[in-house]
Structure 1
Amino acid sequence: MLLAIDAGNTNVVFALFDGDEIRARWRIATDARRTADEYVVWLRQLLELENLALTDIDAVIIGTVVPRALHNLSVLSEKYFGVTPLVAGRGDAAWGVALDVAQPDTVGADRVLNVIAAHEKYKQDIVIIDFGTATTFDVADYDGAYKGGVIAPGINLSLDALVGKTAQLPRIALEAPEDTSVIGTTTESQMLIGIFWGYVAMIEGLVERTKQQIGRPTKVIATGGLSILFDQHTDAFDILESDLTLQGLLILYQRATKAS
């Protein structure tokens, strides 16, 4: 089975593919100092819960936006699975799509993987909104070329900054407000309105501006952990694809092994 590893700024997601289907997925907080030995102790226990073993993994592909994490993840693959991992965007796992931007080498792996997966499925102009540590908007045209996008602070980062840089504002839970009112009557409700409905307004405004700039029918795809929360309160998304980045890793792996 294929182990696809998506190393993000907040979490590292491990997904075990059995063919085209995800058999299991696990996540652990990102720590570039975590060693291969630490990873394997954690992973072995989770595999056992699925009645699986390390020997069931015969291929690994890694996508990362944390360069320092790559070494230990590669050691994990070679030392404990006996395979040299593919690394998204390199060698046999090169992107295979045009990065039509001024600095293509600086585009995050997760963003390109999202574009690859979305184009494989929809093959039209696409806007992908990924709700992660940062919230990113990525645009791909009908040929699958990456055209650029937007990087905004993730909603949790915004909330942390608001609380951390003020003396009297309390920490609040991130959730949808009870109603659609944008006039809060308590400090907590005013904070939640500002964070939540302010974020919805940003999403809707940027989606509308992006569609106008593209000028052709465009599918808007939401992904990332908090996409479900916002989907219930806006019509900006056409579809949710929760595993878009992992699907991009699978596609790259399949292309690489087919080519070889």
Structure 2
Amino acid sequence: MLLAIDLGNTNVVFALIDLAAPGGPAIRTRWRIATDPRRTGDEYAVWLSQLLVLEGHARGDIDQIIVSTVVPRALHNIEVLADKYFGVTPLVAGVGAATYGIDLDIDQPASLGADRAVNSVAAHAAHGGDLIIVDFGTATTFDVVDFNGAYKGGIIAPGINLSLDALVGNTAKLPRIAIGAPKTTSVIGTNTEDQMLIGVFWGYVAMMEGLIARMKAEIGRPAKVIATGGLAVLFDEQTDIFDSVDADLTLNGLAILAQRACGQ
């Protein structure tokens, strides 16, 4: 069983993936914990061991670990977790046997976030053709992958929660509101909370629609738009710009890299 770890700026996602499942890798369960670079390997082990038991698994079920991280400071403690508690040297996405296996056709390949490269691997394997991948994380990223699977570049925008935090944190009277779809499609709000939600939500939709339209025009060929990340489903209900929503895109990409690394 593979333990795949997606270590992001806000959360760390752990997933158990059965690489030998009929029909291809299957995610058996997943857990999420807040990212904290100070969290030790021992702390991860206590938390993870309890969750494994609750799901009917044992530490011995895990014989392979792969991690993708955009928080370099946190990687060491994950490596301690893998070595000390599972007796496994973890694969690191983009390094050694877990190399991405795709061309990074950009100015500074080493600066590309591992999550974006892994998403590109997974999206190309699942969909083929020219792709635009939208990932709703701490930042919202837009990535272009061509029909050969090469990563061509993209866009980094503030995540919607970052935008809201900036709005609330830098004003004296605006209240904190929850992100959600407005009750109507009207963009003329009649109270402060509605006006804020309209500005954040529909403003974000307009940004995505505008940027994706510009990207498609620049690509010059039909391109599918694949969405992932926690808010993808919410936005998918309010716009038709996405061709597919895949909440597990990064985990699927990690499974592909792990399979390649062990020669499957």
Which of 252, 255, 258 is the aligned partner of 1:250?
255
Between the aligned partners of 1:120 and 1:18, the Cα distance in structure 2 is 18
Distance 2:101 2:18 in 1: 24
Match of 2:46 in 1: 41
Q: Aligned residue for 1:7?
A: 7
Q: Which residue of 2 aligns with 1:158?
A: 163
CA distance in 1, matches of 2:105, 2:242: 24
2-side partners of 1:173 and 1:145: how far apart? 37
Structure 1 residue 72: Cα displacement: 0.3
The AA in structure 1 aligned to 2:9 is: N
1:29 aligns with 2:34: yes
Give the counterpart letter for 1:155 in structure 2.
I
Pair 1:109-2:114 in alignment: yes
Which residue of the partner structure matches residue 145 of structure 1? 150
* 2:201 paired with 1:196: yes
Tell me the residue number matched to 1:225: 230
| Matching of residue 65 in structure 1 with residue 70 in structure 2 | yes
Displacement of 1:100 in angstroms is 0.3
Structure 1 ranges of 4+ moved more than 6 A: none
Shift of 1:76: 0.3
Whole-angstrom distance in 2 between the partners of 1:173 and 1:88: 34
Q: Per-residue deviation at 1:95?
A: 1.2
Partner Cα distance (1:47, 1:256) in 2: 25
Amino acid paired to 1:110: D
Tell me the percent identity: 69
Instruction: Tell me the distance in 2 between the aligned counterparts of 1:17 and 1:249.
Output: 10
The aligned amino acid for 1:224 is G
* C-alpha separation in 1, matches of 2:180 and 2:91: 38
3-state SS of paired residue (2:135): strand
Pairwise mapping of residues 44-55 of structure 1 onto structure 2 (< 5 A)? 44-55=49-60
Work out the CA distance in 2 between the residues paired with 1:53 and 1:160. 40
Instruction: Using the TM superposition, give the Cα deviation of residue 55 of structure 1 relative to its aligned residue in structure 2, in angstroms.
Output: 1.1
| 3-state SS, counterpart of residue 174 of structure 2 | coil
- The Cα offsets for residues 157-211 of structure 1, whole Å up to 9 and x where unpaired, read as 0000000000010111111000000000101100000000000000100111100
CA apart distance, 1:226: 0.4
Specify the alignment match of 2:136 in structure 1. 131
Match of 1:88 in 2: 93
In 1, distance between residues paired with 2:100 and 2:250?
13
* CA distance in 1: counterparts of 2:33 and 2:127, whole angstroms: 31
Offset, 1:53:
1.1
Question: Runs of 5+ in structure 1 lacking a partner?
Answer: none
- TM-score of the two chains, using structure 1 as the length reference: 0.99
Give the distance between the partners of 1:136 and 1:70, measured in 2 at CA: 22
Look up the SS of the partner of 1:158 in the other structure: helix
For residue 15 of structure 1, what is the amino acid of its counterpart? A
Could you list the per-position Cα deviations for residues 30-51 of structure 1 after superposition, in whole angstroms to 9, with x for gaps in the alignment?
0011000000100011001111
Q: Would you say 1:79 and 2:84 are equivalent positions?
A: yes
CA RMSD of aligned residues (A): 0.7
Mapped partners of 2:44, 2:164: distance in 1:
30
DSSP-derived class of the 2:149 partner: coil
- Tell me how far apart the structure 2 counterparts of residues 163 and 217 of structure 1 sit (CA, whole Å): 39
TM-score (norm 2): 0.97
Equivalent-residue separation in structure 2 for 1:115 and 1:128 (angstroms): 8
Instruction: Give, in whole Å, the separation in 2 of the partners of 1:121 and 1:172.
Output: 36
Residue identity opposite 2:130 in structure 1: D
* Cα displacement string for residues 218-249 of structure 1 (whole angstroms, at most 9, x for unaligned residues): 00000000000000000110010110000110
Paired amino acid for 1:14: F
